[in-house]
Amino acid sequence: MNWKFWANTTLCCLLLVLFMMSVQAMSVSSIPELLQPTVKISESVKEMSGQVKLDRFGIRMKNENNGIDALFSFENSSEHDIRNIAMVCEIFDKKGRFLGQRKWLIGETIEMSSKKTVLIEGKRMFIPVRRSKIECRIADMDILKKPTGQSEKAHEKTSDHGEKKPEGTSGTNH
């Protein structure tokens, strides 16, 4: 064994000690935050604040295949239908330390001035066993606004040039 071997061994040990000190200086709760950055609330959620609400939620773990059942109840008191709701649930331990977050996308439409409960069964994901608190919120949604300038009569057909066509015809008249 020569001096290069001992120099490399010493350098590796020094780097290992520096790495261990930096990991120890970082709190345990900040590691999940680094791996899963906080989801920002979209403009559509801010726009509908107070009109579209998450009434209640429930998350249940199944023992087989890490299956998760999630139940979300929404109230839409706005004048627009909404769909594609992105839900974010943050997981905390007994001391209030952040353990991670999980996301769900709910593709169903919630009609204006209505309430709806959605059950998502058997989604495979990992949720820490030492969790004690889960907080869920709406992170994003699509607002279905009524198209402007269209006729109220949905059964009337028009040609490519905006002229009315007799019922039962299709294509363009050339």
Domains and CATH numbers, the chain: 30-144 (2.60.40)
Cβ neighbours for 77, distance < 8 A, ≥ 6 positions apart:
51, 52, 53, 113
What is the residue-averaged pLDDT of the chain?
77
User: Which whole number is the average pLDDT over 64-91?
Assistant: 87
**94-113 average pLDDT score:** 87
Percentage above 90 pLDDT, the chain? 31
- Asked which of 6-15, 107-116, 120-129 is least confident by mean pLDDT, the reply is 120-129
pTM given for the model? 0.59
Sign of the four-CA dihedral 21, 25, 31, 34? negative
* H or E element at residue 33: helix 30-35
For residue 159, what pLDDT is reported? 45
